Chains A and B, each alone.
Chain A
Amino acid sequence: MLCYGVEMLDEQIERIRNEFESDTQRARSPQDLHNKYLGRKSGLVTLLLKQLQQVPAAEKPNAGKRINELKLEVEAGLDRLESEAAAQALAVRLESERVDVTLPGNRRPAGHAHPLTLVRSEIEEIFSFMGYSVEDGPEIESAFYNFEALNIPEHHPARDSQDTFYISDSLLLRTHTSPVQIRTMQKQRPPLRIICPGKVYRRDNPDATHSPAFQQIEGLAVDEGLTFRDFKGTLEFFLKSFFSQKTRVRFRPSYFAFTEPSAEVDISCIFCSGAGCRVCKASGWVEMLGAGMVDPAVFRYVDYDPEKLAGFAFGLGIERFAMLKYSVNNIQHFYDSDLRFLEQF
């Protein structure tokens, strides 16, 4: 028996709403619910709408509005249910596609730069920042450029420390890159700031700390008014930039034929911070460079006026810097081409 009272309609709406509510909470499929409530023939909301015709005209608009509200609620509920179901299905599919991200990446292995090349570039970078140009020269040198022009005449005991490979009486494998400095001074007038990286050769039998071929970087600055203070400041800047700002730098008097005053430059040991260890032979200091103010005699060889100009020069072994920087304990590793070593860089 149908009832036409407004109250009765309200009760029905409320009942359907509650039923829908509890239906959506039980996991029924969105399609089933659609049929149950909005099905064209027997959907509960559809039936309610059909009853509307029997409502007295005065109450029709009000009743219609309320039934419509219910319909909209049901539709929204069904939409929500559908998108939830779709999201759920997608999540299941994506989960099934999970990969083991701990497997190695798929790549062709890259090559590795040689540690000496890395160190050389870094040093070049620091000096280039200070205005130094890079210069180059032959590895097979004349005895004149390698020795005489650097204030080391024949039979000078300083030649002892640089046992030399000879090609002929006048040709040799350069024992340092200093000849490049001379060649550069001959073709350029000051002011001058250059570094000369390259391979050099000494007739040493290979062992853990010696190699008959190694790489050097030598540097030279010539200008009016350069002093020992500038020399110290420049090398301190370089060493702190290369190692760390905390590195302490020490200058000790020494002897080189082409500089005067000459210095050995030490840094505080980077392994023990100066406390003393095996690397620094317990001294807390490690020798890194030989350097000094350019000897006036060298200026005379290249026709610079030693009363007007001053300069400083320095030389370092790239292997030594690389050994300290990368804790390499045998210089032979650099020339042995062992991939197990090279692949660490």
Chain B
Amino acid sequence: MKISYLWLKEFVDFEASPRQLADDLSMAGVVAEGLESAGSDTILDFDITSNRPDCLSHAGVAREAAACYRQPLKTVDTKVLESAEAAASRIAVTIESPELCARYCARVIRNVKVAPSPSWLAQRLERLGVRSINNVVDATNYVLLELGHPLHAFDLSRVRQGEIVVRQARAKEELVTLDGETRELKPGMLVIADRERALALAGVMGGADSEIGFAATDVLLESAWFDPVSVRRTAKALGMHTEASHRFERGADVDAARTAIDRTAALVKQLAGGEILSGVVDAYPRSASRPCIALRRSAIVRVMGTEIGDEFVERILAALNFEVVSHDAGGWRVQLPTSRLDVEREIDLIEEIARHYGYDKIASALPAWTGTSRRLPNSLKEQALRRSLLGLGYTETLTYAFVPAPENEKFSSLPAMRLKNPLSLETEAMRTSLAPGLLGSLGRNYHRGTRSVRLYELGRIYSANASGLPNEQPFLGLVATGNADEKTVHNEKARSTTFFDLKGSLEVLLEALSLPASQVVWRSRGRKGRVPDYYHPSVSAELLLGSDTLGVCGQLHPRILEGYKIKQPVFLAEIPLETWYRYQAPERVARELPKFPAVQRDLSLVVDRDIDCEAIQAVVLQAGIPEVQQCFPFDLYFGEKLPSGKKGLSISIVYQSPDRTLVDEEVNRFHEIVLERLQSKLGAQLRT
């Protein structure tokens, strides 16, 4: 809301400079966002909160300034010089929808001379951002800016049979509004009509047909009160927002309707001549009287924590147009004005007093507290994951939760929730997978020239359950591409990321949450692993702990990467965190340290290519030798020296006894048994 500093001074005397005024009113809750000089004047731009339509005018802001500077508020002159003929002889008003129109005032001015406005008026309007049209229309806009009440002027000759009907629109009824648009109306929208057709959209915009042009001679002035919700609905439904609708939908002042029409009529006569017919045709079917409410001293102290003197309370109430009708030991009874529909309760009055008292004058205190405080149930686990991820070289990224639907469907078969009004159709689906966001992020970095990227996102995915209700689940996603180790001055050769870098990272994360990494089984597709088809069919796995899926991970299918124009392997892991969080780690019990030395022996085996390491380890550990403590691979070889379909796998076996030092002969015997088992069960051979 643009306010002229000089115009404001016509309502109230004060010394403050525009800058000072802006600061002082801002500290009372009427916030000036900026100010700029315009000739000898300064225009202040106020950001009026939606509860304060009364401040959408010079008189309204002046009231705040008057309260602030302890000055009286001057009122505008509303004397009207009327001619003998009665307005009622020219116009009748029928309100058919009194629930949407509490009051409709009409005045008639005849024989006006519509002309361009004088320059003082045109300039005043234009400085405040209102285009000058002609002297009659400008008069209504002037009063709008002055008193805040929206008015409308009709060309009376276009109102058929001299009757205004305020009614709801008929289905499919059409109206060409002032902006030249043809609007299709619907029942529920309030229109100003004559007996034949709609003339204006009540409280939103006039119609083109009845607009005041330079040929008009007789003017019908309208000053009414329309229901806020109705105006808001109509304006929204038609995609319109006007100075009038802005005010009506926030709540206009029903009493001001009368003042404003008198003020406007006088102004039209002053600017365009003519005769103001006597009387206001004032249809006021629904009383808008407001109640008296109690304001207790004790309630002020209870909310503000400090006493505010009676003298101050009463002065502010009076200055803000709240009439104290009585007072007693406990407090006051206050008549609420029609201009302040936002004030309904005692707490609203307390706020009025507090904001003029000054929040800065209220001393601060820190409240006592005897309770405890809690974290979110999984917050420590989440922190542990985040710490590990940083150590593993993964940088956190955050991506939007809405993604293109086809992207989503590439990575998930969960039913997605869709936005009814997305910013663009590109982003209408709520993600059911973290993959689209992570790959997008990875792709952007890759195409910027960063070839080695490791990112993680910890966020929710959203899906619809069987009854269509949303289901939000926390997920962790990892993506990696490029080198696991870079070539540096210390490291001769770079090493590309492999599946096992990702697997290693996941093992660290499992341990960070005390999940038993050694009990987690890794199943590739074709080995009972349920791995989605956007993964490389043979370089990917499902992680299982018992019957719980702890996630899937692996290299992405090259076809998926084509869409991102990425020409190097990319690895992805998707982890349903609820499953991880659900796992209750057993209490840690420290083991006694071994008293006798361990003996490590190696075996270099040749086995069929598709015998997994896990199978070999199982045979060793289940060979019936309690002294076998560990078995791990240390070399893997594929090559020409081996028969085709075979691989070389070297393993180390650690033997140890809790009660004696093992002697060589014993270990040799164990080792032979193990080898026999490997030969008989897996067809393994010793590599020579």
Contacts and interface: CB of A to CB of B under 8 A. Distances in A.
Interface of A: 103-104, 106, 108-114, 116-117, 128, 130-136, 138-140, 155-158, 160-161, 165-168, 171, 173, 191, 193, 199, 201, 203, 205, 212-213, 221, 223, 226-230, 232-234, 236-237, 250-255, 260-264, 281, 293, 295-296, 310, 334-340, 342-343
B375 A111 contact: no
Interface stretch (B4-12, B169-177, B418-426): B418-426
A103 B375 CA distance: 44
A199 B355 CA distance: 32
Given A103-B489, A228-B354, A252-B359, A131 B371 contact: yes
What is the size category of the interface that chain B forms with chain A?
A: 35 or more
Contact of A167 (B49, B304, B418, B448): B418
A253 B462 contact: no
Contact of B393 (A109, A113, A161, A255): A109
A161 B50 contact: yes
B661 interface: no
Interface stretch (B284-292, B342-350, B535-543): B342-350
A17 to B, nearest CB: 56
Contacts of B454: 111
B400 interface: yes
A290 B150 CA distance: 31
Which one of A140, A213, A236, A254 has the greatest number of beta carbons of chain B within 10 Å?
Answer: A140
A139 B393 CA distance: 30
A343 B347 contact: no
Could you tell me the dominant secondary structure of chain A's interface residues?
mixed
Contacts of A263: 359
Interface string B440-460: 110011001010011110011
Contacts of B263: none
A277 to B, nearest CB: 16
Contacts of B671: none
A233 B366 contact: yes
Given A165-B419, A167-B417, 9 more contacts: A111-B392, A111-B395, A155-B228, A193-B373, A228-B306, A250-B360, A296-B345, A339-B395, A339-B445
B607 to A, nearest CB: 33
A339 B456 CA distance: 12
Nearest to A295: B347
A126 to B, nearest CB: 12
A154 B310 CA distance: 38
Interface string B395-418: 111111110000000000000011
B399 A337 contact: yes
Contacts of B363: 229, 232
Contact of A233 (B52, B348, B364, B402): B364
Nearest to A167: B417
Nearest to B422: A165
B365 A230 contact: yes
Contact of B390 (A111, A165, A221, A334): A111
Contacts of A133: 372-375
18 contacts: A106-B488, A110-B390, A110-B391, A113-B386, A130-B369, A138-B472, A139-B401, A155-B228, A165-B421, A226-B367, A229-B304, A229-B365, A233-B365, A252-B27, A253-B28, A254-B31, A281-B34, A337-B397
A326 to B, nearest CB: 15
B362 interface: yes
A90 B395 CA distance: 46
B390 A261 contact: no
A264 B365 CA distance: 18
A227 B302 contact: yes
Contact of B364 (A103, A132, A157, A236): A236
Contact of B444 (A251, A293, A338): A338
Top 6 A-B residue pairs of the complex, sorted by shortest distance between their CB atoms: A227-B305, A253-B29, A337-B441, A253-B355, A255-B49, A233-B364
Given A128-B375, A203-B421, A335-B400, A255 B52 contact: yes
B390 A336 contact: no
B41 interface: no
A131 B369 contact: yes
Contacts of B455: 337, 339
Interface in B438-495: 440-441, 444-445, 448, 450, 453-456, 459-460, 462, 470, 472, 485, 488-491
Nearest to A228: B304
Nearest to A190: B371
Nearest to A264: B31
B614 interface: no
Given A131-B373, A165-B421, A337-B445, A342 B396 contact: yes
B601 interface: no
Contacts of B85: none
Contacts of A254: 29, 31, 49
B26 interface: yes
B350 to A, nearest CB: 7
Contacts of B26: 252
